[in-house]
């Protein structure tokens, strides 16, 4: 039964479309009787847009449906209306795509900045040299190896016992002669009880894992102290 109803509905629609087309052909050919004067442009525009404000009982509707001049104008207005709708849909689609692209770009930019900020945030490390011996220049002594990651490091160095206050140069080198400086920074030592402490930022991101030396040099003492350093 449902199938028969669908077939019947389709047949009726085709028949109504055929009648409307035949009527339109007759009107455009001037084979209909026109009643009353032609309505104004505003009415025809509303009629072309199928405005609900227009009642089918309005005599101007009968005139437009039988007048070849009004029918031609109605067809042209409907084409213009469809064209505007298509342009509006197209423009809306482009605007949506642009907005989506902008959101994606901003999101990626923020994620990239967040990732970059995370990568740029220094890693806090503490190196305790309070009871540690060192090389002073080429003079050997009892040594204790320290380690740092291959990253941007904010290292807090507790200087050996009896270290002097003042400004220090902190460096990471390939050997205890000061050759092959990997990273270097200057910082003032601050006193904490009996200890002198340096806080310095060292960029070790380009360093390969392996054996290095951590050097400290007092501004008034040009001889550097070297401590074996393992970069992980």
CATH number of the structural domain spanning residue 169: 2.60.40
Structural domains in the chain (count): 2
Both 95 and 133 in one domain: the answer is no
Six-digit token string for 124: 């806090």
Both 130 and 216 in one domain: the answer is yes
Six-digit token string for 188: 């003032």
In the chain, what percentage of residues exceed pLDDT 90? Answer: 30
198 pLDDT tier (thresholds 50, 70, 90): very high
Domain assignment of residue 199, yes or no? yes
Residue 105 has pLDDT above 80, yes or no: yes
Domain's final residue, options 103, 121, 139: 121
Domain's final residue, options 102, 121, 140: 121
Domain assignment of residue 7, yes or no? no
Both 227 and 127 in one domain: the answer is yes
CA–CA gap between residue 199 and residue 230 (Å, rounded): 19
Q: Quick one: which of 85, 61, 87, 84 has its CA closest to 74?
A: 61
Both 135 and 218 in one domain: the answer is yes
- Provide the pLDDT for residue 141: 46
Range among 19-23, 27-31, 34-38, 184-188 with highest mean pLDDT value = 184-188
Both 105 and 127 in one domain: the answer is no
Instruction: Provide the domain limits for residue 112.
Output: 32-121
- Provide the pLDDT for residue 1: 46
Q: In this predicted model, what pLDDT tens digit does every residue of 54-68 receive, in sequence order?
A: 787 888 888 888 898
Both 195 and 221 in one domain: the answer is yes
Domain's final residue, options 121, 155, 179: 121
CA–CA gap between residue 156 and residue 127 (Å, rounded): 6
Query: Is 6 in contact with 33 (CB distance < 8 Å)?
Result: no
- Answering whether pTM is above 0.85, one says no
Both 70 and 114 in one domain: the answer is yes
């Amino acid at each position: 039964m449902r199938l028969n109803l669908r077939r019947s509905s389709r047949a009726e629609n085709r028949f109504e479309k055929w009648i409307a087309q035949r009527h339109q052909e007759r009107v455009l050919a001037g084979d209909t009787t026109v009643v009353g004067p032609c309505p104004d442009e505003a009415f025809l525009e509303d009629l072309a847009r199928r405005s609900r404000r227009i009642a089918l009982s309005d005599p101007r509707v009968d005139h437009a449906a039988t007048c070849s001049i009004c029918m031609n104008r109605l067809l042209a207005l409907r084409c213009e209306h469809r064209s505007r709708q298509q342009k509006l849909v197209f423009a809306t689609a482009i605007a949506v795509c642009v907005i989506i692209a902008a959101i994606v770009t901003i999101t990626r930019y923020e994620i990239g900045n967040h990732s970059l900020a995370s990568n740029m945030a220094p890693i806090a490390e503490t190196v305790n040299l309070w009871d540690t011996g060192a090389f002073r220049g080429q003079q050997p002594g009892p040594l204790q190896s320290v380690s740092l990651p291959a990253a941007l490091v904010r290292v807090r160095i507790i200087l050996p016992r009896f270290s002097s206050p003042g400004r220090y140069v902190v460096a990471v080198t390939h050997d205890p002669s000061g050759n092959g400086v990997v990273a270097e920074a200057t910082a003032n030592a601050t006193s904490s009880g009996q200890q002198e402490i340096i806080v310095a930022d060292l960029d070790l991101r380009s360093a390969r894992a392996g054996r290095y030396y951590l050097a400290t040099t007092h501004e008034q003492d040009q001889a550097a102290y070297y401590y074996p350093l393992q970069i992980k």
